[in-house]
Amino acid sequence: MAERLAALKRRLHADGVPAGQRLAELLAELLAPGPDDYFVLKPKHSGFFSTTLDTLLEYLKARTLIITGLTADNCVLLPAHTRQALEHMRRALKAEVTPSPALEFNRAA
């Protein structure tokens, strides 16, 4: 997984798209934030609730958020539930769920 995330990060940087990671969840040096990366401190179990993520996304004028990681279902304790959680996000939240190698992005868009 770290290799795929690192490849996605390289693709994002090549297209001038800001990339970031939650500091508390770095998998290895392979994914360590670089000098141009953004990161959000995760004080509790959520990288979204009670963090500065909203402020950062507003500052960046972000319209799309690419969420990656091992855990899609309650910080997935059971990987078998991941597909179900992704399907729920697709259905209920209108989330676009796409494997990282298939992502296409354009910084200017």
pLDDT at residue 79, as a whole number: 67
| Residue type (1 letter), 20 | G
**Which burial class, exposed, middle or buried, applies to 67 when counting CB atoms under 10 A from its CB (0-12, 13-18, 19+)?**
exposed
Please choose, from the candidates 66, 60, 53, 48, the residue with its C-alpha nearest in 3D space to the C-alpha of residue 5: 66
Q: What is the pLDDT of residues 26-61, one digit of tens each?
A: 465 677 778 888 888 878 777 777 889 889 999 999
Averaged pLDDT for residues 2-10: 80
CA torsion through residues 52, 82, 76, 32, sign: negative
pLDDT at residue 28, as a whole number: 57
pTM score, two decimals?
A: 0.50
The domains located in the chain, with CATH, are 2-102 (3.40.50.850)
| Residue type (1 letter), 46 | S
Q: What is the pLDDT of residues 63-84, one digit of tens each?
A: 888 877 655 555 544 566 777 8
